[in-house]
Amino acid sequence: MSNSEFQKVIVRPLDEYNQRLVSYVHPPYWVNPRPVDCYDLVVIGAGTAGLVVAAGAAGLGLGLKVALIEKHLMGGDCLNVGCVPSKCVIRSARVVGEMWNARDFGVNITQHIDVDFPAVMERMRKLRAGISHHDSAERFQKLGVDVFLGNASFASNDTVLVGDKTLNFKKAVIATGARAARLSIPGIEEADYLTNETVFSLTQRPQRLAVIGGGPIGCELAQAFRRLGCEVVLFHRGSHILNKEDADAAEIVQNVFIQEGIRLVLNCQMQRVEKTIEGKKLYFSCNGREDSVTVDEILAGAGRVPNVEGLNLETVGVEYDQQRGVMVNDYLQTTNPRIYAAGDICMNWKFTHAADAAARIVIKNTLFSPFGLGRYKLSNLVMPWVTYTDPEIAHVGMYEQEAQEKGIDVNTIKIPFSSVDRAIADGEEDGFVKILHKKGSDQILGATIVARHAGEMISEVTTAIVHKIGLSKMSSVIHPYPTQAEAIKKAADAYRRTLLTPKTKRFLGLLIKFS
Ligand SMILES: Cc1cc2nc3c(=O)[nH]c(=O)nc-3n(C[C@H](O)[C@H](O)[C@H](O)COP(=O)(O)OP(=O)(O)OC[C@H]3O[C@@H](n4cnc5c(N)ncnc54)[C@H](O)[C@@H]3O)c2cc1C
Ligand SMILES: NC(=O)c1ccc[n+]([C@@H]2O[C@H](COP(=O)([O-])OP(=O)(O)OC[C@H]3O[C@@H](n4cnc5c(N)ncnc54)[C@H](O)[C@@H]3O)[C@@H](O)[C@H]2O)c1
């Protein structure tokens, strides 16, 4: 193996857990296999999308030749620097959130809450390493996939290079994901800042943290770090945080942030950053007022850019955009019909479950649609998502505005958790279930849930949308009492009540009379 083909990877800190992680997802002594004559599928990138395509195709037991190429860590963002580490850290932060509010539940915590930040991060590293075997090079090799560690680039219409190896393919899949957008604020590169790629390597708590960007990454991590004991200032360009979400939902989370002591700087313009002896000094303007704040660390959550560089896409006629990534049609086919793409590299939905669902479409469309027959479409997916703040915001389907833009008349049913017994018992009344349905019909078009475990509740509505179960049928589903999910049934019952017109009431009156 040549040196250019394989580079050892270090994940900091270099403790036993990170060594175990690397031993699975980028084994230091991995020897790339000798390529077969021609692969049915060559998959570039071993994040969620690439892993699902490779495992799905090889696991069919049809003797397909599948190659998977990863330049860094198998498992991609989700396992290594995304969902998994963030949710582990958020779990520790939730314990603190519970303790902060303990008095409301009649529990006095007499001692100062002492967050052992190094232990929080160690727990995360331990759990991450513990599940990493699932994405390991060895496991994929055992599934029958040829795993190549190294940087992939297209050499011609039917070949990909990895180091000194040439892989011939019938079809290829680009699944190279995205990375944190660099911030273009004067002085910030010199001052240095954290992204999702480095924040999970912290072992000491930054006392003062500036988070730039009030999207899902910025908000999830701002709240977690605040609860873990940092002073947090969250900078956001918009007039409120999480501005892609339902505005009522975002408002609830924003109020919690303020209560918990996160300093919000909204409508901000970052001007420059200076490294001083006191720390990193950020100069900004907000609603026409100039100000500055000094912190120990800056964390960027300011959007993602696709990993299109170095793939030599021009050679194979795959069109792309530096912002939106690889261009695909609804079948996830690129402008080169033999090359497909899936996941963050080509989709607006930048979620692990979206990458997984897209990968399944790619398997069907690359392998089981002769002459393009029976192809599956991305636009047919019903995509839920969850932002893991506390409370969580979960959403599926359309928003009101989207429906209006499409000319669909809609009604919205909103059930506040202040009317749900279990939420009252839990002290979690600040939230709601909002269901959007077609006017004059019980067809559900979308839903937003704001609740501590909204992510666990949204799938009921997703199932209803996917399988065209209307509110009338949902109203007949018994929900255990007391649960927060009862709010969904209450919404369905509220719809049923709207059917009680004077005419139906008269009919019911007759039934009563003759019963
Ligand atoms: C902090 C954070 C938290 C998140 N939390 C959630 C969450 O809770 N839920 C959720 O659904 N989503 C979450 N996401 C989003 C989720 O991580 C991504 O949507 C998902 O990882 C996308 O998978 P992918 O396979 O498209 O790309 P990636 O996971 O980015 O994988 C792409 C892989 O391709 C490799 N690669 C790139 N170029 C090359 C090349 N030339 N040759 C070989 N290999 C290459 C990369 O090294 C990488 O391993 C989070 C993201 C972040 C950053
Ligand atoms: N729970 C989840 O599923 C989850 C969690 C994290 C990330 N993700 C995925 O990752 C994607 C990226 O997340 P993200 O939060 O980085 O991006 P984002 O684009 O969703 O949000 C970033 C926000 O930062 C603001 N911003 C950008 N530059 C700024 C600046 N200089 N000053 C102030 N504000 C600035 C932008 O206006 C934007 O609203 C998301 O779209 C999501 O799909 C998902």
Any binding-site annotation on 61?
A: no
Residue-wise pLDDT tens digits, 407-441: 999 999 999 999 999 999 999 999 999 999 999 99
Q: Is the peptide bond before 13 cis (omega within 30 degrees of 0)?
A: yes
Tell me what pLDDT residue 11 has: 97
Tell me what pLDDT residue 6 has: 55
Give domain limits for the chain.
3-78+131-180+305-376, 83-123, 188-302, 391-502
From the CA of 302, how far away is ligand 2's center (Å)?
Answer: 5
Tell me what pLDDT residue 8 has: 80
The CATH label, of 3.90.950.20, 3.30.390.30, 3.90.1150.10, 3.20.20.140, for the domain at 391-502 is 3.30.390.30
Rounded to 5 degrees, what are φ and ψ at 407?
75, 25
Please identify every stretch of the chain with a pLDDT value under 50, giving residue numbers as ranges: 1-5
Q: Which of 78, 199, 237 to mutate to test the pocket of ligand 2 (most atoms within 8 A of CB)?
A: 237
Any binding-site annotation on 113?
A: no
Whether ligand 2 lies within 6 angstroms of the CB of 395 is answered as no
Rounded to 5 degrees, what are φ and ψ at 234?
-110, 120
Any binding-site annotation on 490?
A: no
Q: How far is CA 277 from the centre of its chain?
A: 37
Any binding-site annotation on 216?
A: yes
From the CA of 388, how far away is ligand 1's center (Å)?
Answer: 17
Tell me what pLDDT residue 23 has: 97
Whether ligand 2 lies within 6 angstroms of the CB of 85 is answered as no
Ligand 2 atom showing the smallest separation from residue 216 Cα: 15
Any binding-site annotation on 85?
A: no
Q: Whose CA is nearest to atom 45 of ligand 1?
A: 45
Q: Whose CA is nearest to atom 25 of ligand 2?
A: 213
Ligand 1 atom showing the smallest separation from residue 353 Cα: 11
User: What number does CATH give the domain 3-78+131-180+305-376?
Assistant: 3.50.50.60
From the CA of 351, how far away is ligand 2's center (Å)?
Answer: 12
Residue-wise pLDDT tens digits, 122-162: 999 999 999 999 999 999 999 999 999 999 999 999 999 99
Q: For the chain, what's the residue count?
A: 515
C-beta neighbour count of 427 within 10 angstroms: 11
Whether ligand 2 lies within 6 angstroms of the CB of 205 is answered as no
- State the residue for tokens 């049609």: 329
Tell me what pLDDT residue 10 has: 93
Is 3-78+131-180+305-376's fold the same as 188-302's?
Answer: yes
| Angle subtended at Cα 163 by Cα 161 and Cα 166, rounded to the nearest 5 degrees | 35
HEC-encoded secondary structure of 105-117? HCCCCCCCCCCCH
Whether ligand 1 lies within 6 angstroms of the CB of 172 is answered as no
From the CA of 122, how far away is ligand 1's center (Å)?
Answer: 22
Tell me what pLDDT residue 2 has: 47
Global pTM value: 0.97
Question: How far, CA to CA in Å, does 74 sit from each of 242, 443, 480?
Answer: 30, 41, 41
Whether ligand 1 lies within 6 angstroms of the CB of 346 is answered as no
ipTM, interface predicted TM-score of the complex = 0.98
Any binding-site annotation on 298?
A: no
CB burial of residue 379 (10 Å; 0-12, 13-18, 19+): exposed
Tell me what pLDDT residue 405 has: 96
Whether ligand 1 lies within 6 angstroms of the CB of 195 is answered as no
The CATH label, of 3.40.50.620, 1.10.3720.10, 3.50.50.60, 2.160.20.60, for the domain at 188-302 is 3.50.50.60
Q: Which of 217, 298, 348 to mutate to test the pocket of ligand 2 (most atoms within 8 A of CB)?
A: 217
Whether ligand 2 lies within 6 angstroms of the CB of 270 is answered as yes
Query: How is residue 181 annotated by DSSP?
Result: P
Whether ligand 1 lies within 6 angstroms of the CB of 175 is answered as yes
Spatial contact of 234 and 222, defined as CB atoms under 8 Å apart: yes
